[in-house]
Amino acid sequence: MTTNDAAGVPGGPTAAAPVALGEDDRRDRTRWGPIWAGVLVVLSTYVVLQLLFFALGILDLGFEGDVSTTVASVVSGVLALVAFFLGGLAAAATAFWRAANDGLVHGALVWALSVVAILTLTVLGGGALLGSVASVATQVANVAQETRAMDVDPAQAMQTAREAAGWGVLSLGLSFVAATLGGLIGAKIWPRGRGA
């Protein structure tokens, strides 16, 4: 007994030819393989750049005071922007399906997953390798503990926490822009796959 339907059920609807899925037929636009690849690019690039700039003497660990904390923060922030841009670029460039805004979506998800990974590594003790991004998170977490442990003015502690949070928001916003910009560019520079 032969059947012509897709499910192999006798008497069912017949399928004349396989139908290729277009952009409008896909049910999800998120590809987690490229997103995880982008996160790995962000983390590894950032750590390597931090170590390189530490080896060159541009960054320090803050013990010797050789490098201004402002300069170190700016350099570390720029290194983070480079890493997030490359992560978004890698995620969008390696995604199989590419529609108009898929690079933006992949870049945004690389950013979100990378921020969670950086915060997790900071909590687990990897803050020294992750530079000022981890430093801001650590400072905010330590303000409450230091206020209780020492005789510190609560208003001054709150002001310090607000300043750290403000810089944190700025760095997170800039890294989001870098990751999504990388995603937009990455979706356009490599040859388009099926569904393009």
Q: Average pLDDT of each block of 10 consecutive residues along the chain (196 residues)? A: 48 50 59 92 93 85 64 87 95 77 89 91 67 57 58 78 84 92 86 52
Strands (E), 27-84: none
CA distances from 3 to 8, 17, 19 (A): 6, 13, 18
Note the pLDDT of residue 42: 95
